[in-house]
Amino acid sequence: MNELIKKILKNKKIPERSSHGGEIYNFNKEIIDNIVDFSININVLANSMLVYNDFKNSFKLIGHYPDSSSNDLINSLIIYLSKISSQTISKENIVVGSGAMDIISTFFDLVINPDDEVIITEPTFSEYRWCIERNSGKIIEVLRKPENNFRINPKTILDLLTEKTQVVVICNPNNPNGLLEDKNDMIQLIQQLNEKNILLFLDSSFIDFTDDDGFYEHEIHNYPNLFICRNFTKFFGIPGLRVGYAVSSPDIIRYFKKYQKPWSVNCVGQTFADFLLKIPNFKETTLQYYKNEYKFFKEKLSIINGLKIYPSNTNFILINTEETGLTAKKIKDLLLLRNILIRDCSNYIGLNEYYIRISIQKHSENLYFLKEFSEIITNFSR
Ligand SMILES: Cc1ncc(COP(=O)(O)O)c(C=O)c1O
């Protein structure tokens, strides 16, 4: 490290970055155009439900600073959330950010002081770790077990609490397995943490795909320690516009807003998100599609020998390929030759080199995937 870097960084923690699904930018243009991306868990119907003419107006706003408080979007979210949770959610309960990632990082910047402990249940989304390490927090790791379909065990988490525990992070449904947690387990956990003034950070990035959507928003009035992070990335299908939001008690939201960067969410993102909430039958159409397609996809996968398929409530499925003798890397490389990209999950803590994640795409693409994947497993397994 040279003297300049030493001087400017001093003891600052600079954590390592990890890789994600959907990272297609390293391929050349021709490959990108032809690839079917099963690594990215975004609602495939979202694009077709957008009426682009409606959105032209949002571009007229780009000569102005965006509304720093995202007032219009928050008003629409109040209506949307109050409908799905049958609970009154008010302006004081919501903050909008630039994608879930902005919500996650601002949250940890706000609540973590050096040596505070944060419990994470692995395997899970890797960026919590990055946010905690940046703030010199201490990560306490709990493993989700394959034999429990990677669900959490509240008792194991509660046994690890100390005076230094500041936050417990739960991603529900969890990435990479997609399974919903048991609601009773979750309430037990939230309640016991609340009694000890410990925050529960609930990443609900995929909850819109499930029947539990709205359930936890209902609880924010009972549990002021509950902080729910949501986004427009996955279900509403606009990862490129970066819009997310959080729902929590007025006290936490107030401090969060004070701490957040000004103009976090651009005006196009704010307006698009607002329109998306108002598209008739968006939710029903998406849920029906994934219900049918998941059933079809899972049935076809279960015919292929040597796969352990984990249950999911979302638009992606975690698979263990150990019995086939084929590593995730090998399968990924073989599928890439057939223009299919999947998520090699071997870099998730708590998984090994035999885990892959497949996201359900359009029916015709799923048929293509199932044919090619089945052929590869049949021809190359030991
Ligand atoms: C569980 C989870 N949370 C948050 C994010 C980040 O979402 P966003 O793109 O809205 O920042 C991801 C992205 O993959 C995710 O899987």
At residue 52, the pLDDT reads: 67
Structure-token pair, residue 199: 């925050």
Cα of 352 vs centre of ligand 1, distance in Å, is: 22
Q: Reply yes or no on whether the pLDDT at 287 is more than 70.
A: yes
At residue 98, the pLDDT reads: 98
Judge contact between 285 and 45, C-beta under 8 A.
Answer: yes
Residue 29 exposed, middle or buried by CB count within 10 Å (0-12, 13-18, 19+):
exposed
> Which atom of ligand 1 is nearest to 174's Cα?
1
In tens, the pLDDT along 189-233 reads 999 999 999 999 999 999 999 999 999 999 999 999 999 999 999
Structure-token pair, residue 362: 């359009």
For 357, phi and psi rounded to 5 degrees? -125, 130
> Which atom of ligand 1 is nearest to 239's Cα?
9
Q: Reply yes or no on whether the pLDDT at 1 is more than 80.
A: no
At residue 61, the pLDDT reads: 84
Residue 19 exposed, middle or buried by CB count within 10 Å (0-12, 13-18, 19+):
exposed
**Cα(60)–Cα(53) distance, rounded to whole angstroms?**
13
**Cα(272)–Cα(373) distance, rounded to whole angstroms?**
36
Q: If you average pLDDT over residues 302-323, what whole number do you get? A: 97
**Cα(359)–Cα(246) distance, rounded to whole angstroms?**
25
Cα of 5 vs centre of ligand 1, distance in Å, is: 31
**Cα(187)–Cα(201) distance, rounded to whole angstroms?**
13
Strand partners, 224: none
Probe residue for ligand 1, chosen from 210, 234, 243, 316 as the CB with the greatest number of ligand atoms within 8 Å: 234
Judge contact between 74 and 91, C-beta under 8 A.
Answer: yes
Structure-token pair, residue 98: 């630039």
**Cα(166)–Cα(340) distance, rounded to whole angstroms?**
42
* Bridge pairing between strands 244-247 and 36-37: unpaired
Tell me what the pLDDT averaged over the chain comes to: 94
- What is this structure's pTM? 0.95
More confident residue, 8 or 185: 185
> Which atom of ligand 1 is nearest to 20's Cα?
14
Cα of 205 vs centre of ligand 1, distance in Å, is: 6
Q: Reply yes or no on whether the pLDDT at 258 is more than 80.
A: yes
Cα of 235 vs centre of ligand 1, distance in Å, is: 11
Q: Which domains are delineated in the chain? A: 3-47+282-380 (3.90.1150.10), 58-277 (3.40.640.10)
Q: Reply yes or no on whether the pLDDT at 51 is more than 70.
A: no
At residue 54, the pLDDT reads: 63
pLDDT band at residue 31 under the 50/70/90 scheme:
confident
More confident residue, 73 or 27: 73
Give SS3 for 274.
helix
What letter represents residue 104's amino acid? I
> Which of 31-45, 61-75, 240-254 shows the lowest per-residue confidence on average (mean pLDDT)?
31-45
Q: If you average pLDDT over residues 350-373, what whole number do you get? A: 98
Give SS3 for 323.
helix
> Which atom of ligand 1 is nearest to 21's Cα?
14
What's the Cα-to-Cα distance from 86 to each of 79, 200, 248, 296, rounded to whole Å?
10, 22, 16, 32
At residue 12, the pLDDT reads: 81
Ligand 1 atom 3, closest CA: 205
What's the Cα-to-Cα distance from 359 to each of 21, 241, 294, 315, 370, rounded to whole Å?
10, 21, 10, 6, 12
Instruction: List ligand 1's pocket residues with C-beta within 6 A.
Output: 20, 99-101, 125, 171, 175, 203, 205, 231, 233, 239, 244
With a pLDDT cut of 70, the percent of the chain lying above it is: 99
List b or e across 291-303, with b for residues whose CB sees 16 or more CB atoms inside 10 angstroms: eebbeebeebbee
> Which of 53-67, 185-199, 233-247 shows the lowest per-residue confidence on average (mean pLDDT)?
53-67
At residue 86, the pLDDT reads: 81
> Which atom of ligand 1 is nearest to 125's Cα?
1
In tens, the pLDDT along 106-160 reads 999 999 999 999 999 999 999 999 999 999 999 999 999 999 999 999 999 999 9
Unique residue bearing structure tokens 């449904």? 173
> Which of 47-51, 91-95, 113-117, 268-272 shows the lowest per-residue confidence on average (mean pLDDT)?
47-51
